[in-house]
Structure formats: C-alpha cells, structure tokens
Structure 1
C-alpha cells in the first residue's frame, strides 16, 4: 500500500494552510494530505453562480491533477457541507468521509430549534459589517461560551469573508442534498463534534446524519467548539482518529476488490 491520500476542505473563514497546517504535520509523512482552499475564494468576490457544485468540481480537478482515482475526503464547517455534497454526487471517488461540524446537511427532519437557528442565520444578512462576524460566531457555540475579542487589526483577507459566508447561506437555501444518495454511501463516515458547540446546530446535524449513513461514527471533543476546533487545537488526537478511520476504510476497500 502506498501513502494515504486525503483532501481536506476548510471552512468559510480560514484558508486551508492556516486551518490545517498543524493537522497535516501531525498526520505525518505517510499521509499525502491535500489541504485545498475553497473555490469560493478563487477571486476577490464569490464566482458567479457559485454553489456547492462548484466546490465538487474543484475537488475533482485537484484529485485528477494528483492522479488520485480514489481518496479520503474531510471537511470542516462550509467545507464539511461541500464534502457531504461530494459524497452524494461522486461516491465512486471516495474511500471515506470525515465531517468536522459541517455547516449544513440538507433540509430534512429539522427540529423546531434547528429551524429557528437557521432563521437567525438568515437574519445576519441585514447586519452592518462590524456586527456580522461576531453575530455569526455567536450562533455556532453554546450561550455560555466566551469568545475572545479579535487581536489587533483583522488581516486583509478577512474583508472577503462575510460575502463568502452569505454565499454559503444562499446556496444552503436552494441546494438539493439527496438524502437517498447519502444513505447509499457505504464507506466509513466519521463525525467530529465539539462539546461546546451549538447543539441545535452541530449536535442535531450529527444526530440526523447518524440515521442516514450505514457506517457512521461520532467522536466528541468535549472541551472544543466551532472556533477552537480539534484540527487546530488538538491535531495529534484528531490525526490519530483519522489515521484509524482511513486505515479501516482502506482495508474494507481492498477486501471488496478481492
């Protein structure tokens, strides 16, 4: 067996190198990890007609350029939603799926609390620029979590993030994530949840997906939340989980080819 091949998709805020640098180092040299930036930020503004399908096409181009017929896919937040969409559209290319608190997971079986949470996200669009990011971040964590204030002036790239987040919210309203196709995805799925993240958002999403995927595992990092995620704060522990997850998936794949 050669090196493990994995694509890592970031969320709507940090770039892939900033999000995944520590995790890639912890995974070690026998993992060929492609930390891929979102197509959403390929230019100064979101591309015209951008949707989760744009991210699917970008992942396919990256894999094809590397000569990867099959690979493991992991995604955090908005990248997790894109990873789910990829699993529904191109399951033939995946050995496994890893979801780090995906920002969205379809429109079926929402509880009233989950629906209210999305109504609060929709209301973000009316906020002035200075209030947008704090309100967005507050929706991702439990009410008693204290989020640290920004340290110094924001980097230049941060000015593009509200438009990117709003593009995600727009496509979530209309995108057709096929539940039946996800239910046919028979490869291992790992869901990583922070114990301090908003349970009406990421906790419910994990519960909903647990009854969709036939091979599903939940791993909770009790002291983490959406903005101090395991891939940045506890990369060694997450790397160990991912290696175990990926190795099992490759054993299953080799057994199926016999």
Structure 2
C-alpha cells in the first residue's frame, strides 16, 4: 500500500497551495490528504479557539479518510499542531515530518522564551498589513529579502492577521509535557532553511534532544517565506518518500 500522509499547512497559505509542489513531486508514489486549519473555519476566530480543536479535527479527518494509522506532515503552525498530535496520539502515527514548526508545545527553554518574547513584542498592537509585514520580517535573518505583499488582498488572506494572533495565543495556552515526545517510537524528519531566523536552529536542537529517532536537515538558501516549490523540491520529496516507506516496511514486518 502507498504511504498515506495527512498534511497540515501553516497560518498563511492553505493546504492546497502549501503542498501542491509536494503532491506534484511525489506523484502516485503516496496519497497526500490535505487538512486545512480549523482556526479559519470562522472569521474572526472563536474566542475560545484552542489547539485541542485542531487535534480533534485531525482525528475526525483521518477517520473520514479511513486512516487508522498514517504519516503526518506539518509546516509552521501546522508543525506545532503536528507535534501536539504526535505527543497526545502517538499510536496513530507511522512517522512525523516537519518544516520549521512555529513553536514546540510545552515549557520553553530560556533561549526559546527569550526569542519568542522578542517576536511577540514586535507584533503587539499591530493589525492588518502592518501585522503581516512585521510577522514576515521578524522571521528571517537580517538582510534577507522577502517577497513584497500582494497588491490586492483576497478575502481569504484578510483572515490571516486575526487567525495568526489566535494561533499565537493558543500556542501559549496549550498545556503539554515535552516528555511525551521522548516516548515517541516513530521516526521524525525535520527540515529548516538556513536563511530563516536563528530560532529555527534553536528549535532543531531542542527537538533533537527530545525525539529518539530524528533526522534534521538544513536547506541552504531557503527561508520561511520562499515559494512552496523551493521548499518541497523533488530532492526534498525523495527524502520524505524514503522516510515514509522505511516506516511502512517496519510496520508491515511487525504485523507479520
């Protein structure tokens, strides 16, 4: 059977846009099931929106696709959600793959807290286009050029500032024991770009210290806001296919 992969996007591009290059590169070698974020189900987001809403929605989505166990991939905010899912529902996962998770659930190290406090301070009080401009600028290394904002903002993109703010608040409120990740038996693949803010290397180091089976890959010339096709290249897709297939073989052998 082909790898069955549930794909969770970040807070900006929807799943179909974020993962289109990966679907192209993988072809018929795997089935990718796209799951958008619940935070954008209502505009503005519900005042009681929480990460648990996303986790329960993944359960429902996987059940609707008849997926008992599956591979999970998350980008940015979807990476945080995927990590929370991995820690609370490990029995459902065959593998986990991440690209620059927005944060790691649970109590932060001092260095993580310091770096996130700077970002949150820069965003505080901003709205609309000012919020988005600061959000993008603060997540790349100094001097890195980012794409200009679109001339016209679509109704869907108008939801993003409020959605991102709701996600950041939900990250802070989510209670999680990072020790749960140390108990995970499935393999993990983590990618990040060398032009993204230094917080990515900090998160990579933290995750490498938590998971017992993790591969970390740094991609040159890449940052958080390059077009999706520059992240999910054919080479990256090949690495993910190897990641998924290896776990599928192990799972089938264990079931014999």
Q: TM-score range by the shorter chain?
A: over 0.9
- The 1-side partners of 2:134 and 2:80 are apart by 21
Gaps of 5+ in 2: none
- The 2-side partners of 1:246 and 1:10 are apart by 18
What is residue 249 of structure 1 aligned with on the other side? 247
- The 1-side partners of 2:219 and 2:246 are apart by 21
How far does residue 117 in structure 1 lie from its aligned partner after superposition?
2.1
What is residue 155 of structure 1 aligned with on the other side? 154
Secondary structure of 1:74's match? strand
What is residue 49 of structure 2 aligned with on the other side? 50
Q: Deviations over 1:133-174 (max 9, x none)?
A: 111111211112111212421222111101111111111212
Q: How does 1:27-42 map to 2 (within 5 A)?
A: 27-42=26-41
1:231·1:238 contact (CA, 8 Å) conserved in 2?
Answer: no
Q: Deviations over 1:213-241 (max 9, x none)?
A: 00000011111101116655443122111
What is the TM-score when the length of structure 2 is the normalising length?
0.94
How far does residue 50 in structure 1 lie from its aligned partner after superposition?
1.6
What is residue 130 of structure 1 aligned with on the other side? 129
The 10-residue stretch of structure 1 (152-161 or 232-241) with the greater mean CA deviation from structure 2: 232-241
How far does residue 36 in structure 1 lie from its aligned partner after superposition?
1.1
Q: Deviations over 1:177-219 (max 9, x none)?
A: 22111110010000011111111x2111111000100000001
Residues matched between the structures, number: 255
Q: How does 1:218-237 map to 2 (within 5 A)?
A: 218-228=216-226, 232-237=230-235
Indicate yes or no: 2:85 matched with 1:61: no
- The 2-side partners of 1:105 and 1:223 are apart by 24
Match of 1:116 among 114, 118, 122: 114
The 10-residue stretch of structure 1 (53-62 or 223-232) with the greater mean CA deviation from structure 2: 223-232
How far does residue 116 in structure 1 lie from its aligned partner after superposition?
2.7
- The 1-side partners of 2:248 and 2:85 are apart by 19
- The 2-side partners of 1:229 and 1:179 are apart by 31
What is the TM-score when the length of structure 1 is the normalising length?
0.93
Gaps of 5+ in 1: none
How far does residue 63 in structure 1 lie from its aligned partner after superposition?
0.7
The 10-residue stretch of structure 1 (3-12 or 47-56) with the greater mean CA deviation from structure 2: 47-56
- The 2-side partners of 1:92 and 1:184 are apart by 11
1:224·1:230 contact (CA, 8 Å) conserved in 2?
Answer: no
- The 2-side partners of 1:182 and 1:62 are apart by 23
Secondary structure of 2:238's match? helix
